[in-house]
Copies of this chain bind each other. A is one copy, B any other.
Amino acid sequence: MPVPSQQIRYILSGGGDGWEILHRARQLAAAGDPPLNLCVGEHDEPTPPEILAAMDASARGGHTGYAGLAGTPGLRRALAERVSARQGVPVGPSNIVVTGGGQGALFYALNAMLDPGDAAVVIDPYYTVYPGTIRTAGGVPRIARARTENGFQPDFATLDAACDGAKALLVNTPNNPTGAIYSGETLEMIAEICIRRDLWLISDEVYDGMSFARPHRSPAALPGMAERTVVVGSMSKSYAMCGFRCGWAAGPEGLIKLMTDLALNVAYGQPGFVMDAAEFALGRPDIEARICGTFARRHEIARRALAGAQAARAGASDGAMYLMIDIRPTGLSGRDFARLMIEEERIAVMPGESFGEAAAGHVRATLTLPDDQLHTALTRLAEVAGDLAAGRRAAPAA
């Protein structure tokens, strides 16, 4: 019997993914005892019907054959306009390749930047799939820890040291899982390190429509950065189109061309009717405004539910669909607190430890529940944390 390649076995070599709470939530739901689920980074509402109608019209209009490998001309044009305006980087259609979701863009970009053994730096806490995606491209993930005391913004000394000898840096603002929005100072520090160390930068900006506390800014717009930065975007979050698997990478034309060769060999492009639906959606900024408005409103609801709570603080979370809640005053780990919450309160949150080591003693809550349920869940979470911290409630036996 031949054996599988080392390279594919290497993908998961970083250990488990820490999704046991999500699995438990699904198990309870299947058993008729669904928790209030604050685990999933997926919309609680389906894709708007006008987008589905656009997809159906495209398919019935005959757009069911092979579409362009880098994306349809219309979608690439619309994306170039969006990136130019939103990221503040003037780009044209030749700077864009359409991918299988933001995930596809990450994979293509990392492949185009890394050779086997090359290091790519991620900032902890991180979206759980980052290290595996770096390994999928043959690279070696390197972790730079950000601290909750610093609002989960990376600090210069830690980040610069992690970047020594690396080939690429991967950042994400607004951030999953912390909800942090990188400050202008942080962005300038990132640019300085990338230029001095001659690094590629991947800037994952899939939550660029959900920057609630301040306007979104891209590091790609800083001087000297456009030529070394790939911006990753997606229809998933801003348009409630997770299941369409439609994302993009925007970057230097030469690199995008190489990524298009990869798109040919990995999947022979994306469905034309999906791309037509995305192009339609981009022409309807009111849809994005409405969807992101929902999360802005819930963000306020969440902040109010946690206001004044001493044992459950989400001070760093200013954007995206996430709150990273510091529950260290309870004396529990994020994992133990999350277990208690789902088993005793039927409220599901992710342990911070699922996203690296920097968020130990935290839990991540998503804003993907209806307003009233979100308020109920977070109010209760704050009460439980307060009771634990004050000794009014005993921690469960481990």
Contacts and interface: CB of A to CB of B under 8 A. Distances in A.
Given A8-B261, A113-B4, A243 B56 contact: no
Nearest to A132: B265
Given A132-B261, A136-B266, A266-B104, A243 B67 contact: yes
B47 A55 contact: no
Given A65-B242, A245-B270, A266-B100, A5 B118 contact: yes
Contact of A267 (B1, B138, B245, B271): B245
A131 to B, nearest CB: 10
B64 A59 contact: no
B243 A64 contact: yes
Please tell me how many copies of the chain the complex holds.
2
A112 B8 contact: yes
A107 interface: yes
Contacts of A66: 42, 242-243
B265 A4 contact: no
A32 interface: no
Interface in A7-27: 7-9, 11-12
A346 interface: no
User: Across chains A and B, which 4 residue pairs bring their CB atoms closest together, nearest first?
Assistant: A100-B267, A47-B64, A136-B265, A103-B268
Interface of A: 1-2, 4-9, 11-12, 42-43, 46-47, 49, 52, 55-56, 59-60, 62-67, 99-101, 103-104, 107, 111-116, 118, 129, 132-133, 135-138, 167-168, 198-200, 227-228, 240-245, 254-255, 258-259, 261-262, 264-274
